[in-house]
Structure 1
Amino acid sequence: MPRSRGRRNKAKNTARLASNPNKIVFEKLDFGFGDQREEFKSAILKSAREDVERYPELVDELTNLMKNRMPDGIVSTVAFYGTRAAINNKGESRSLTKNIQQHHIELLQGIALTLPADEWGKIPSTAETIQTVFDIIPKLSDTFFKRRLIAKADEIDKVQRAIMSLQEKIRLHTQAVRNWGYFSEVKKICREVYAPLDDKLVAAVGYSFTDILDIAEAVHTAIDERCNTWMDAMKKVISSRKSRTAVETYFREMPNLKGTPDELLALLPKGIEREAVMALLMSHADLRHADNMSVTAADVAAMTGKDKERVDRVLRMFSIEPGELAGQNFEHLFLANPVWARPGIALDEAYLFGMPQAIFSHINEIMWNVATTAKIEEDLSDRRAAYLEDKAEAVLQSVLPTAQITKNAKWMAGKQQFETDIIAVVDKTVILAEAKSHRLTPQGLRGAPDRLKRHLTEMVIAPSIQSERLAVYITAAREGDADSLKITESLGLDAENVDQIIRISLTLDDLSVLSSSEEELENAGLIPEGHMLAPSLHVADLCCIAEIIDEEIPFLHYFSERFHFQKHFDIFGDEIDFLGIYLATGFNLGEKRGDFRRLMVTGMSDVIDRYYNGLDAGIAVKKPKASIHRSYKEIIDKLANTKPAGWTTMGIFVLSSASPEEQPKVERGLNRLRHSVMRKRAKRGHECFMEIVPPLNRKATVGFYVHRAADRALRRKHMEHFASEALDRDEATSCVLFAKNAENWASPYEAVLLAQKRGEVQTDLRS
């Protein structure tokens, strides 16, 4: 189940990152309107207002169509072509149709369910019918967006514009981003979260959370298999070179057809072209989608071994009857569609699931509604909170095996007690993680201002303030503040040995698109003055990052630089897009980023999507890795294996010193330096030092001292001299220096020195 990605209109002075696993490409987008910006804006708004005026016509046209043609056939056929994708052996997916996304189909289904069953059309749909729907439904969605665009353009207050911008981002995210994790991870997390409450739910409603998940998976599997069988059959038909062969293949591959190939061929006009025959067969085959996407309680009971009555109760809970949404506010179909939490259609004898994956897209809302009905929502709230903390701890421990992790650490500042959800100490690096399991409500998804502010405060702002509070005390303790030292000592932290402080906030509902919108959050007055917002991500994304970046130093480096990355850009994309950027660049964008502020990164997750799509499809796809040059990788590996004091700090500094494109140049420079040192006439100390000074002052200088074996005794003296010179000369506050033996060149380094100006600690606090 690939993750859908949101899109937004691209503004001037915006750069787009093209997805490439080996190289990152910047494309500066310029619409070329120059000094005519206002004229361009007016033209866009005029066009939007004209389209908005057509909105009622489009709704009427679509509604009348479903009063004439069978809505179940329309929904299932559009769902088939809109959500199915072909996946090759590289994990690359190709949709069967363009411009139709899951939220379009949900909107279509919602509109169909506003009609009572006796108003549903009785005539099967045709290819022309489906094409008309393909044309109308994206226009309806776009028109709703344009209505909001007009409202935003008419607002002149800075604070209100910022709030409206945040509303628009969450609305676009709500519409376009349907899956909060990759399918395998979603299923795993759901079982971990909900299974412990099975007994409570059974006692209240007669079925368990595990029953819900088992039945949802069975429905998904059954419909997926049927649709795949249909596709395999039609591939054979389409590959036929002659009309007769195509008809014969169609009768052979499609079960329960009446008549014979000869009888059908006799009805066709003489001289009919092959393409017309194919169109006829395809249109006829499309009539099967409603049946292929429908299940009965008996079907699912046989698949799962569960009681038929219990299965029927779950399927009915998943589904909405025709006419049940009569009188529904159409705006809510865009932003809080009842179809999200009940994605099935209850028919006479069966349940139609045009998008069975939608159950898992909205599984948390479904489960909350069930818990509310059973009056165990408080138990579920407690379970979500405990699970999020336990899962975060387990993931961090798995990817950071040497970390000392403390959970629910309580500490006193004056007379006030505070609690930090997770403190992980790895060498001289400290991770402060806050886990907030608050729910995103339907009102918040619609972008209701007060509810959205509350969600942002609870899930993004408050946990960031909480982790910053302790980070401030750790920094002060390192500088010798007595009160702060009491706090760090009570937590078992040796503040003097802390070089890096990394802060993250974790959630069970996805708000990552807003956590990187710092400019709007500041303009809306939601971020306290001077506060530096911590990255906020879904725990499923943390699992993904830990699986892809499964070594300690790169994992720590990702989050060390991830914080700064969202500070320097107004970014549109999600956490897995950020991960894609990291794999390509290590977040070392250097001087390339100097001439733009806005950055579109949607699509940078492609390489990761292909990997997980392959896993879900049973295709072996090589796991993507960070682009790190061999010589850099050898240094990182040796630091991780030998673990000298400060190894995490040094590793982070090394990975921050050069981009993947620059790292081979560093190796070539070292080879030239070695050649210079090894010359017969070379004097001791002559041309034996090379340093890398990153373009950002907050990053450390990285140096290499190359010497002969005979000079090993002088190594420490020379290294301290070079490090002192580097700190005096450069604006960086830290320096890591590696000594390489020119006569033992295969070794990544023989000695390493970490030098820092007194009192410096790398943290994500504003200096």
Structure 2
Amino acid sequence: MALALPVAQWGKAPSTADVLQTVFDSVPQISDTIFKRRLIAEADEVDDGQKALMALQEKIRLHTQAVRNWGYFSEVKQICRELYASLDAKLEAAAGYTFSDILDVSESILTTIEQRGNDHMDALKRVLSARDSKTMVEGYFREFPDLVGTPEGLLDVIPEGTSREGVMGFLMSHADLRHSADMSVTASEIAAMTGKKKDQVERILRMLSIEPGELADHKIEHMFLSNPVWARPGIYLGSGYMFVMPQAIFSHINEIMWNVATSAKIESDLSDRRATYLEDKTESVIRSVLPTSTIKKNAKWVVGAQQFETDIIAVIDKTIFLAEAKSHRLTPQGLRGAPDRLKRHLNEMVVAPSIQSERLARHIVAARAGDADSLRITQSLSLDAGNVDQIIRISLTLDDLSVLSSSEEELAKAGLIPDGHNLAPAMHIADLCCIADILDEEIPFLHYFSERFHFQKHFEIFGDELDFLGVYLSTGFNLGAERKDFYRLMVSGMSGIIDRYYNARDAGIELNKPAPTIHRSYKEIIDKLARTKPGGWTTMGIFILSSASPEEQPKVERGLNRLRQSVTRKKAKPGHDCFMEIVPPLNRKATVGFYVHQAAYANLRREHMKHFAAEALERDDAASCVLFAKNTDNWSSPYEAVLLVQRLEKVVPEIKS
């Protein structure tokens, strides 16, 4: 709003506390008024499809207005370096500076202003810690040596009898007057810091900044959803450049880079680079977290005369992990909630890639059932469809649509999802990087995405992907039986433990990395499965993690200890009172059983395990049962043997997302 006025109209007097308070009170009221005006204008709509679209529009608008960071700072820097560096030569030929130059300059601006802010606060803390007003004022002049005048002169200005707290407020307000200088940089300063030519830095700073008065024709109501300051967060003041929120450069770095590429007429090159980079990064992340998987990239397959392509196919044991990487841009019109553009973005980045991955998933399921055409497709991809228990699907983007990708009910009501389609979650590549970093073992990573499908499908959720990860760390997505009165979830803020870890790491502070809450006995089982890798180990690992919540897992261990006592009684007979089963509250989950035996009866183990597993499947409505055998004489071992039994007529690989 200030940039809508020429600098001559800004005035010369400093901003006092009462003036700033008026600003702080008024701007949110303007925002709230514009939001309510939209609601009033839309209140007469009665069509369910239109209402659903309006709900999606408001979600993206609120997300546009309030949430801008698409990754933690270290991630943002790394992704930007990897993404843009290969186009440096083309931009330099057109603009005289490179994408890497923009990043270097932007980092230097941020580092400089943050350091000045830290120094300011440290100095002020030392001043305000003084025991009396006179010492405080003397400390003020000592900590800020550029002040004009003397401590005695300032003390004369302060009314006699002012309390110590009053003097503190006076000094803090006066110190605030230097913020504009602390938040300003010159081309010479940044050139010296980065070792770049001054004229290069000047061009970059000018590109990142807006001159007062330049936004005179910009309507205030548009600023909340299409603010030019997002892409040009600096203020050009002739002698220098002021960045009141230098971190905003990286919050909106992709839009900034796209605008630069458009001006240099290399946007088609950047578009191609975005697509290549997203596929490469997706493959790299999945390979890092699923190191024993076999990965195919850009796998082509044919149905009749039509050719299809799947970006990533990762096969690990009996699990197939499908990922589609879609690098389409989220345009300013889409961020404003323009209905046609929003529909297009949702289709390109959320719905179409999900349809694409489900198409192959359905052929794998059909091939497993013996369909000849589908078998030809899976064989052309070297996939053993008969050995597949589950298919997990995700879609990856370079622009953040996480607030809408989980809004499955609204997407369906708006007619954007075809009938019967199971929507795969669409997430930013930075979110996948975080998930792979936090869940850095194969079974928990697969379990997260296996259950993520149901979490999205059965709840109306408000939150982003890292909030979902926060829920998983504390619950394993084991939220009990489905309930009609437990449908809407507000999970915003659940990423707090993750935020603290990454923000501390970016600040050079080492904290323990967040980890899923898994009881020791459960952790030992999945660790042994991952280490020994029996056939179906991913399936069995997912089943055991889905069998009980973190609160219930200690009860399972206590039950096993009681079972051990029963089996080791003198009069205990082989196979008598030696079996315990966990029947999860949802039929889609497998029954998990434990068979406890003494070493002397190990020869009967297989027979007894098959008997108990068959009984469990007959008694329960589950399609699968995994049974772990424990030896009372080797109790420290997580299990001695494991058996996976499934009803062939019921087991159809879930096309999970």
How much has 1:684 moved relative to structure 2?
Answer: 1.7
Q: Specify which of 506, 511, 515 is matched with residue 625 of structure 1.
A: 515
Number of the residue aligned with 1:144: 34
Contact 2:298/2:310 (<8 A) preserved:
yes
Distance 1:249 1:616 in 2: 32
Number of the residue aligned with 2:589: 699
Contact 1:519/1:570 (<8 A) preserved:
yes
Q: Specify which of 373, 396, 401 is matched with residue 483 of structure 1.
A: 373
Which runs of structure 2 are paired with 1:220-235 in the superposition (5 Å)?
220-235=110-125
Q: Specify which of 257, 279, 284 is matched with residue 389 of structure 1.
A: 279
C-alpha distance after superposition, 1:336-388 (max 9, x if no partner): 11011000000020001000000000000000000000110010000000000
How much has 1:592 moved relative to structure 2?
Answer: 7.6
Alignment partner of 1:335 is 2:225: yes
Number of the residue aligned with 1:311: 201
Q: CA 1:594 to 1:164, structure 2 compared with 1: closer, same or farther past 3 Å? A: closer
Indicate the RMSD between aligned Cα atoms, in angstroms.
Answer: 1.1
Alignment partner of 1:250 is 2:140: yes
How much has 1:268 moved relative to structure 2?
Answer: 2.2
Matched letter for residue 619 of structure 2: R
Number of the residue aligned with 1:754: 644
How much has 1:172 moved relative to structure 2?
Answer: 0.7
Alignment partner of 1:474 is 2:364: yes
How much has 1:496 moved relative to structure 2?
Answer: 0.6
Number of the residue aligned with 2:2: 112
TM-score, length-scaled by structure 1: 0.85
How much has 1:593 moved relative to structure 2?
Answer: 5.2
Distance 1:762 1:254 in 2: 69
Number of the residue aligned with 1:295: 185
Contact 1:388/1:539 (<8 A) preserved:
yes
Q: Specify which of 146, 150, 167 is matched with residue 277 of structure 1.
A: 167
Q: Specify which of 336, 347, 367 is matched with residue 237 of structure 2.
A: 347
Q: Specify which of 80, 87, 91 is matched with residue 201 of structure 1.
A: 91
Distance 1:152 1:544 in 2: 38
Q: Specify which of 300, 309, 312 is matched with residue 419 of structure 1.
A: 309
Number of the residue aligned with 2:421: 531
Number of the residue aligned with 1:649: 539
Matched letter for residue 731 of structure 1: D
Matched letter for residue 458 of structure 1: E
Q: Specify which of 485, 489, 495 is matched with residue 599 of structure 1.
A: 489
Q: Which structure is higher in RCO with an 8 Å CA cutoff and minimum separation 6?
A: 1
How much has 1:275 moved relative to structure 2?
Answer: 1.5
How much has 1:595 moved relative to structure 2?
Answer: 2.1
Contact 1:563/1:764 (<8 A) preserved:
no
- Unpaired segments ≥5 residues, structure 2: none
C-alpha distance after superposition, 1:1-47 (max 9, x if no partner): xxxxxxxxxxxxxxxxxxxxxxxxxxxxxxxxxxxxxxxxxxxxxxx
Three-state SS of the structure 2 residue aligned to 1:683 is coil
Q: Specify which of 161, 185, 204 is matched with residue 51 of structure 2.
A: 161
Distance 2:271 2:364 in 1: 32
Alignment partner of 1:192 is 2:82: yes
Contact 1:170/1:514 (<8 A) preserved:
yes
Contact 2:579/2:596 (<8 A) preserved:
yes
Distance 2:345 2:38 in 1: 21
Contact 2:481/2:586 (<8 A) preserved:
no
Number of the residue aligned with 2:397: 507
Matched letter for residue 131 of structure 2: R
Distance 1:140 1:752 in 2: 63
Which runs of structure 2 are paired with 1:61-72 in the superposition (5 Å)?
none
Number of the residue aligned with 1:363: 253
Distance 1:192 1:474 in 2: 34
How much has 1:761 moved relative to structure 2?
Answer: 3.2
Contact 1:166/1:520 (<8 A) preserved:
yes
Distance 2:562 2:554 in 1: 13
Contact 2:464/2:492 (<8 A) preserved:
yes
Number of the residue aligned with 2:574: 684
C-alpha distance after superposition, 1:507-537 (max 9, x if no partner): 0000011011011101100000110100110
How much has 1:246 moved relative to structure 2?
Answer: 1.2
Matched letter for residue 719 of structure 1: M
Distance 2:435 2:345 in 1: 25
C-alpha distance after superposition, 1:480-500 (max 9, x if no partner): 111111000000100011111
Contact 2:391/2:656 (<8 A) preserved:
no
Distance 2:310 2:137 in 1: 68
Three-state SS of the structure 1 residue aligned to 2:302 is strand
Matched letter for residue 409 of structure 1: A
Alignment partner of 1:238 is 2:238: no
How much has 1:762 moved relative to structure 2?
Answer: 3.3
Q: Specify which of 556, 560, 570 is matched with residue 460 of structure 2.
A: 570
Matched letter for residue 425 of structure 2: P
Number of the residue aligned with 1:665: 555
How much has 1:317 moved relative to structure 2?
Answer: 0.2
Distance 1:695 1:152 in 2: 42
Number of the residue aligned with 1:259: 149
Moved more, 614-623 or 449-458: 614-623
C-alpha distance after superposition, 1:34-64 (max 9, x if no partner): xxxxxxxxxxxxxxxxxxxxxxxxxxxxxxx
Matched letter for residue 487 of structure 2: R
Distance 2:519 2:265 in 1: 56
How much has 1:269 moved relative to structure 2?
Answer: 2.1
Moved more, 134-143 or 589-598: 589-598
How much has 1:450 moved relative to structure 2?
Answer: 0.2
C-alpha distance after superposition, 1:577-618 (max 9, x if no partner): 000000000000013855221110000000000001101111
- Unpaired segments ≥5 residues, structure 1: 1-110
Matched letter for residue 762 of structure 1: P
Number of the residue aligned with 1:42: none
Number of the residue aligned with 1:127: 17
C-alpha distance after superposition, 1:601-652 (max 9, x if no partner): 0000000000011011111111111000000000000000000011000000
Three-state SS of the structure 2 residue aligned to 1:591 is coil
Matched letter for residue 128 of structure 1: D
Alignment partner of 1:181 is 2:33: no
Distance 1:442 1:563 in 2: 30
Distance 2:563 2:553 in 1: 15
Matched letter for residue 431 of structure 2: D
Number of the residue aligned with 2:442: 552
Q: CA 1:569 to 1:279, structure 2 compared with 1: closer, same or farther past 3 Å? A: same
Number of the residue aligned with 1:48: none
Distance 2:652 2:135 in 1: 75
Number of the residue aligned with 1:763: 654
Contact 2:393/2:656 (<8 A) preserved:
no
Contact 2:390/2:656 (<8 A) preserved:
no
Contact 2:64/2:225 (<8 A) preserved:
yes
Distance 1:291 1:269 in 2: 28
TM-score, length-scaled by structure 2: 0.99
How much has 1:764 moved relative to structure 2?
Answer: 2.8
Q: Specify which of 604, 611, 626 is matched with residue 714 of structure 1.
A: 604
How much has 1:267 moved relative to structure 2?
Answer: 2.6
C-alpha distance after superposition, 1:451-491 (max 9, x if no partner): 00000000000000000000000001111111111000000
Distance 2:82 2:561 in 1: 52
Number of the residue aligned with 2:300: 410
Number of the residue aligned with 1:63: none
Distance 2:154 2:265 in 1: 59
